[in-house]
Amino acid sequence: MTEHPDTPRTMKSRLLAAAAAGAIIMVGLGAFALLPHPGAEPAGPAPAVTQVADRQATPPRMVESGAPFSFADLVERVAPAVVTVTVEEKPQTPQMTDQDVPAPFRDFFHQFGMPQMQVPRHAVAMGSGFIIDKSGYIVTNNHVVTDATKITIKLKDGRQYTARLIGTDPATDIALLKIDADKPLPTVEFANDRNVRVGDWVIAVGNPFGLSNTVTAGIVSSIGRNVGNGAYTDYLQIDAPINRGNSGGPTFDIEGKVIGMNTMIYSPSGGSVGIGFAIPSSTIHDVVAQLKAHGKVTRGWLGVEIQDLTPEMASSLGNKNMKGAIVAKVVPDSPASKAGFQQGDIVVAVNGQPVSDSRDLTRRVATLPTNANAGFSIVRDGKAQMLSARIALRTSQDVASAGSATPGAGNNATGEAMGLGLSAITPDLRHTYNLDNNVNGVVITKVNPDSDAADKGVQPGDVVMSVGNQAVRSPADIQRRIAQAKSEGRDSVLVLLNSQEGERFVALKVGKS
């Protein structure tokens, strides 16, 4: 399982996601702890950061092979800025059950009723954090401080302070704290995680199981990991051992700069198995800037539902090397709708910056300032176009839900194509498959289990709304689109389906003439 390297708060661990034989566990609070809408306002200036020590950074000593001989000098510099975060939570008062009553007395209590005793349980959890500003700003994980009634910061030299919560961003699991000290505090500085390569050395410092200032080392084992924890973070995967209580602690590069924040582990047992995940420093830097300036994070909203443009989809559109995100739906009266976006548009760049996939587009839009225009490079019907959209503020309700209808009622013809039984939508079929009145197209009445469509999850009752970005109203329309694709030498077509899960694109094989 994947856990936050925090210890379970009062013997509870937070299960974030199950995966195969393991699970993702937050590591923020140690065993003695527990391990996102917005429209972005222009972020204020990035928080000031300085080196932990005034002396010049000393690189790790090397042996002839080129491998680091010791990380001791690096750790000596950065460790003073790594802190222990102790969180007090509201006392829990669970109702006593018969399992809390000694066996000889259970029959008595069953006869006369359970005693109404409640035993308050004071919850204390521990995690890690790091100081990014001499005046006392500290970064940690949001899940470390969630539900906190009191937050105490302990430095390596033993000093303790009560911290104020400046702001949190649950969508990225980042929190910003502030303590007031009588003199400047030791700090660390951020590195650019975009320069990180798989195989680079990393050093993790934190508070696993309440063992403060524990240091572990390893390498970056992967970058750009999507662990299903929100659309705004691609994690660094590291093999430096991290455990419960490490959540919120820094991941350092070989120069002693922060490239990430330890947040989760993948583990079948709850302990480290060498698969940990850290939030990249660029994400932390951007979020902290907004938290420091405004106490909250806002994100931009365009108003489209999107999918990854797979190589097969790109090939079906005649350009197998094209990358980007395909628009599955445009929300009415949204910035995208007003800018002229259409279903089937492929977004390939934002403000001149290439878009690799749907997650990349989501993150880029989220960082755009609200009420400002942004330029989108799209491909529509094989032709490049530019659209300008005025970005709105994303809210928690900004989930596209409005449907779009294709025109016409079609006819009553039936047919087959691509291993599918097809029929124009009739009142009887609309009733049989429980289709909304605003859904139009060609309904699928059967699916050959040996077909490409079956392999891609197409089911009876799904409605084909368009083929090759051309609306269809009858099986004959679909057959004409397939014939056209074959004549152009394509072996697949891009099909827009309406199903129980909503609208989605899928590339279906048609074979060549």
**Residues with a known catalytic role:** 143, 173, 247
C-alpha distances in angstroms, 53 versus 79, 154, 189? 10, 19, 11
For the CA atoms of 416, 422, 424, 428, what is the dihedral angle to 10 degrees? 140
Distance of CA 362 to the CA centre of its chain: 10
| Cβ atoms 459, 447 nearer than 8 A | yes
b/e per residue, 473-511, with b = 16+ CB within 10 A?
bbbbbbbebbeebeeeebebbbbbbbbeeebbbbbbbbe
CB atoms within 10 A of CB 361: 25
Task: Report strand pairing: 492-499 vs 470-471.
Answer: unpaired
Q: Which two tokens stand for residue 414?
A: 């039936």
| Cβ atoms 109, 115 nearer than 8 A | yes
Residue whose C-alpha is closest to residue 258's, from 207, 190, 203: 190
Task: Report strand pairing: 373-380 vs 160-162.
Answer: unpaired
Cα 252 from Cα 231, distance rounded (Å): 24
Distance of CA 127 to the CA centre of its chain: 21
